[in-house]
Chain A
Amino acid sequence: MTQALLMRYLLWPLVKFLGAFIVVQAIVAAMNWVERRLLGLIQARLGPNRVGWHGLLQIVADPIKFLLKEDIVPSSSEKVAYFLGPMLPLIPTFMVYCLIPFGPPPMFIAARVNVALLLVLALTSTGVYGIILGGWASNNKYSLMGGLRSAAQMVSYEVPFGLSIVGVLMICGSLDLVRIVDYQANNAWNLFPQIVAFFIFFVSMNAENNRTPFDLPEAESELVAGYHTEYSAMKFAFFMLAEYSAMIVNSCLVTLLFLGGWTMAIDGKGLTTQQLVSMGVLGGIIGLAIFLTKMMFFMFVYIWFRATFPRFRFDQLMDLGWKWMIPLALGNIVVTGVFVLIGQERLMYWIGLATLGAIGFHIFRKPVPAVKAKTAHEVAHAS
């Protein structure tokens, strides 16, 4: 009996966590290669293609390099905090892997918690402490500025990040990620009724992860390297690891909350959780594949953004957060509340679909002409 309990509550979750951990870390390492190759593709260059087949061994070469580099500790740094800085952001992101269902339960979730979403939010938002601590402990003015920027940015974007989820919760009526996914399989992706929330969530998620166009805390051209200016070797790698892990966590979250997670069903028809579970191991693999595909799409968008956008300025970032995203998120809650109150959730799906259609129409209205930009002498008078 004790053995069975031990198996069920300790060993089995641990194995699953390790599985998730290894898979996610593999994805993190692979993302490093994928990002550089993709950026290369977008930027008319090759990217790393020397080590191994198409540069794939770069994934191995980078950690080896990081391990072998000299680990420099600035003499004037605050030693304890300096060491803690890179570690702290890793712990919560790793913990979150326990809570995220990567496929149909109970196989692909280490710990099913009924307030999983709340816990995930709570854990991910602690990631910033490491950055602040690291930035401050480095005793470098650029690092300090990076850390402070990071703090302000995280605090500002945590609010719309959290608020945008409220609409989803109101519709699904649960904080359990599995039930949120099941609700979507039985109705439709939350993307449609919660289109505004989706965009807010997506933008704040970019800001949370310090990714372009919100990469102000590290802003290479302004702050040298921001909070990790003084970090080298494995400590620097830990910051990178935390950043990419957090990116994956957020991509998982957006998949779970808005894109139906591992299911591929509308109105209960298609690959719902029950359907996948009844298919046994194959169903599990299909579910995992669907989930990873959706997640990787968002990872791709992260990279795509990085290649496309210039960086916001700090005050503009705050403007966007406080003046646009938070009011929009609050408005979304009110509107969703009204619809839920009058029992017309279905209507929201159609409105969302219409909005998406309108956006699509606007983008693909005509073959987008290469922006024949106003040359300066059109702007002004010519000689």
Chain B
Amino acid sequence: MFDVHEMEINFGPQHPSTHGVLRVLLSVDGERIINAKPVIGYLHRGTEKLFEHMAYPQCVPHTDRMDYVASATNNLGFVEAVEKLMGVTAQIPKRAQLMRVILSELQRISSHLLWLATHAIDIGAMTPFFYCFREREQILDLFENYCGARLTLNCMRIGGMPDDLPPGWLDDLEEFTGKFDAAVDEYESLLTNNRIWKRRTVGIGVISPEEAIEWGVTGPPLRGSGVNWDLRKALPYECYSELDFEVPLGINGDTYDRYLCRMAEMRQSNRILKQCIPMINATPAGDIKAKISRVVRPPEGEVYHSIESPKGELGYYIIADGKSTNAYRCHVRPPSFVNLQALPAMAKGHLVADLVALIGTIDIVLGEVDR
């Protein structure tokens, strides 16, 4: 009866809320999304290929540039994979392990803070952005005091850590952990029980547990659907098995549950940090490196090692030929890339305004998607 035209919209790559250079090809009927097709690759840098031409230690700074808002966890995944390939995982001193855990958990908090800030501003609440950045700034200051960098940390080495913690660093950390729970309360007082926030997030982009597993979704989007899968618990690395923390799970698998999960995860990360401080004080200072040869030349073989990055399962697959000091092949399984697959299914039938909330809730970083 009526001649209905779908409108094609290029959502991105230059759009304020696609979190980088994601481009989504939208077919909309009015404002209702008929089809959403993510187009990626605008930030492709050939990182994996680069890894084949660099000695293993040289690769570490390049891992920073993948998930550039969570570089410590990227470092961790890579150095652990190489250590596993070399078979020296057990030799890493306790102090180095704890330092890695502290840095990763700080990184998790800072990544989640960035997510909350942008997610909230995408849905139109602008104040949480500044509150989140206030705390994130303190974390970045901690990073700077440790390794001199704030964003691309390059803070881990194969076999241990580059430097011991500077004097007074743990006191600063303790001060931060003491204040952080109250800060999370503050964010939640702005959003959690806010009616408009709930209307914008409850029931939006529902993924059932089965679908989530089928899509290969990991991290908070998976746990928001109620699947209890956190690599820190499921396949513990470093000294996570000695630490006491819970894995927050959602029920409905909607944007609101994923929001709750991440908020609770920040509290749990803070709990881990609090436990780490007395533990690291008990270890001898300076004992931060395993005794491995300077030239990293793993034996012939292959390894897949994954860790729980803030965004999900971050895996490194490395093939070594046993002769050279660089990898024969290195493949990265970035969580953002895999989680992004679920976007079209999640977005179908929602409004354009919801697409923004969905991109936010998946928490993608394009550096990682495109590598």
A307 beta carbon closer than 8 Å to chain B: yes
- List residues of A (116-141) whose CB comes within 8 Å of B's CBs: 141
User: What A residues does B293 contact at CB under 8 A?
Assistant: none
* Interchain CB contact under 8 A, B264 and A370: no
User: What A residues does B188 contact at CB under 8 A?
Assistant: 371, 373
A43 to B197, CA, bound (A): 18
* Interchain CB contact under 8 A, B196 and A379: no
B192 beta carbon closer than 8 Å to chain A: yes
Contact indicator per residue, chain B 311-354, by CB within 8 Å of chain A (1) or not (0) = 00000000000000000000000000000000000000001111
Question: Chain B interface: which of A58-66, A67-75, A218-226, A331-339?
Answer: A218-226
* Interchain CB contact under 8 A, B193 and A371: yes
* Interchain CB contact under 8 A, A376 and B185: no
* Interchain CB contact under 8 A, A141 and B9: yes
Main secondary structure of the interface of A (DSSP, over half): loop
CB distance from A365 to the nearest CB of B (A): 16
A43 to B129, CA, bound (A): 9
A372 to B15, CA, bound (A): 35
A190 to B362, CA, bound (A): 49
Question: Chain A interface: which of B87-95, B97-105, B116-124, B151-159?
Answer: B116-124
Known: A222-B356, A224-B16, A376-B257. A311 touches B189 (CB 8 A): no
User: What A residues does B129 contact at CB under 8 A?
Assistant: 43
User: What B residues does A313 contact at CB under 8 A?
Assistant: 199-200, 351, 353-354
Main secondary structure of the interface of B (DSSP, over half): helix
* Interchain CB contact under 8 A, B353 and A377: no
B126 beta carbon closer than 8 Å to chain A: yes
User: What B residues does A382 contact at CB under 8 A?
Assistant: 246-249
- List residues of A (323-380) whose CB comes within 8 Å of B's CBs: 370-377, 379-380
How many A residues have CB within 8 A of the partner chain?
42
A230 beta carbon closer than 8 Å to chain B: no
Residue among B31, B124, B200, B261 with the highest chain A CB neighbour number at 10 A: B124
Specify which of B7, B192, B249 is in contact with A374 (CB 8 Å cutoff).
Answer: B192
A309 to B226, CA, bound (A): 29
User: What B residues does A212 contact at CB under 8 A?
Assistant: 124, 126
* Interchain CB contact under 8 A, B185 and A370: yes
CB distance from A45 to the nearest CB of B (A): 6
Contact indicator per residue, chain B 260-275, by CB within 8 Å of chain A (1) or not (0) = 1101110100000000
Interface residues of B (CB under 8 A from A): 7, 9, 15-17, 31, 120-127, 129-131, 134, 182, 185-186, 188-194, 196-197, 199-200, 224, 226, 228, 230, 233, 246-251, 257, 260-261, 263-265, 267, 351-356
Residue contacts A-B, CB under 8 angstroms, 8 given: A42-B127, A221-B123, A221-B356, A222-B17, A312-B196, A312-B199, A371-B189, A380-B226
A313 to B351, CA, bound (A): 8
User: What A residues does B124 contact at CB under 8 A?
Assistant: 212-213, 215, 219, 221, 309-312
* Interchain CB contact under 8 A, B120 and A375: no
* Interchain CB contact under 8 A, A375 and B260: yes
CB distance from B178 to the nearest CB of A (A): 16
Nearest A residue to B123 by beta-carbon distance? A310
Specify which of A222, A307, A315, A371 is in contact with B185 (CB 8 Å cutoff).
Answer: A371
* Interchain CB contact under 8 A, A314 and B353: yes
User: What B residues does A312 contact at CB under 8 A?
Assistant: 124, 196, 199-200
* Interchain CB contact under 8 A, B264 and A375: yes
- List residues of A (199-252) whose CB comes within 8 Å of B's CBs: 212-213, 215-216, 219-224
CB distance from A48 to the nearest CB of B (A): 15
Known: A141-B9, A310-B197, A370-B185. A43 touches B353 (CB 8 A): no
Residue among A39, A44, A377 with the highest chain B CB neighbour number at 10 A: A377
